Amino acid sequence: MLPSNTSLESAQEPPSHSRNGRERNSFDWFFVGPNGLRAGWSILLFYGIFYFFRLFVGSVFFSAGLIGETMDNSARFVLIAELIPFLSLLASAAIMALLERRRLSSYNLAGPRRIWRFASGGLAGFSALSLLVGALVWGSWLRLAPGALSAAQTARLSVLWGCAFLVVASVEEGLFRCYALSTLARGINFWWALAAEAVVCADAFRQSHDHGALGVYLIAALGFFPCLALHQKAAPCSGFWQAAWVTSTVFGLYHTLNSGENWIGVFATAAIGFAFCLSVRLTGSAWWAIGFHAAWDWAETFFYGTADSGLQGQGHLLAAHPAGNPLWSGGADGPEGSLLALGVILLLILFLFLVYGRQRRAALAVA
């Protein structure tokens, strides 16, 4: 028979396994939400794994002599260099899919008619860039001249640049519109989004000088009131648009690392990032955005021979020379650095609403 004081203590204190259970539940709550691992931890873990693999794969490529310390902006170099983040992205996404018990396609890569979405996005990307270049030529802000490539060089570089920019588009869309957008959309609210925007703007202020930080501030400010309104209305789609706001601003910050960028180019890049988020919402996947992104960059660098976000590629079909006020010509940034690019992006957003918005409404009505 137990002493009376032991019985009293047993009655007053819960069993140790119950306390440990509550501690474990509290601990689990900190990391795990109703949709699995909380979005913030998922993002931190994903990008930590990505940068680890990027260092590892980069070291392997460097040791094998595939890349050197200098960048020559040739199609071959860009293709090989971009394979480093591409392979790192695949490895990181596969690990996160395993940890989160999801399929890779759940990161905005599912959806109907994927091949058609990719192809139509490619056609739209080439057309949009051609419209921008045409406007620049019409206004005498850009001069085009024949390139110096032979027929064989043209065919070879066309394919090489196409492969390079397909990898570039896959990496950037995979990082921003696939994993980050899909993950943040399931676990972000206005206040977390606002905190993320503050961190992004602070980082732009800390590390950027003349490479377009103003464009980051502008896109952050532009999204504030719409996202606040969605938050106050408790709109069901609020999480997606908060995620689109954050990922688009970070996409702009990412491009401030390019030495030839200006604030218009960074703002335009962030704005087109938002248009890509919109395309994900309306088409059901990121395939349209991947096709558009690859074709836009290919047309910009190879077909027209302009600078692409401040970087001038080697080997192009036509030769382009900006002229006049950089606000209109884009200067060293390329067509994306022109104020006319903002008009093209607005037309692109209108196009998405008119074509894919109508299709989405029709599909929902049938369902």
Q: What DSSP letter does each residue of 176-191 carry, written as one string?
A: IIIIIHHHHHTT--HH
For residue 44, tell me if it sits in a domain: no
**Could you tell me the sign of the dihedral formed by the alpha carbons of 110, 182, 168, 312, in that order?**
positive
What pLDDT does 309 receive? Answer: 87
What pLDDT does 70 receive? Answer: 78
For residue 8, tell me if it sits in a domain: no
For residue 287, tell me if it sits in a domain: yes
In the block, tokens 């030495």 appear at 259
d(CA 267, CA 256): 10
Name 254's Cβ contacts closer than 8 Å, sequence gap at least 6: 172, 176
Q: What are phi and psi of 244, to 5 degrees?
A: -65, -40
pLDDT digit string, tens, across residues 217-233: 999 999 999 999 999 99
In the block, tokens 């008119």 appear at 354
Helix (H) or strand (E) holding 234: none
For residue 328, tell me if it sits in a domain: yes
Name 76's Cβ contacts closer than 8 Å, sequence gap at least 6: 160
What pLDDT does 261 receive? Answer: 86
- Domain count for the chain, please give it: 1
> What secondary structure, in 3-state letters, does 340-367 show?
HHHHHHHHHHHHHHHHHHHHHHHHHHHC
Torsion (CA) 157, 336, 217, 51 in degrees, nearest 10: 0
Q: CA nearest 296: which of 278, 284, 309?
A: 309
For residue 192, tell me if it sits in a domain: yes
Low-confidence ranges of the chain (pLDDT < 50): 1-19, 21-24, 367
Name the residue range of residue 131's domain. 111-366
For residue 25, tell me if it sits in a domain: no
Q: Which neighbouring-strand residues pair with 322?
A: 142
For residue 277, tell me if it sits in a domain: yes
For residue 83, tell me if it sits in a domain: no
What pLDDT does 25 receive? Answer: 57
pTM surpassing 0.75? yes
What pLDDT does 84 receive? Answer: 97
Angle at 221 between CA 214 and CA 45, to 5 degrees: 85
pLDDT digit string, tens, across residues 149-202: 999 999 999 999 999 999 999 999 999 999 999 999 998 999 999 999 999 999
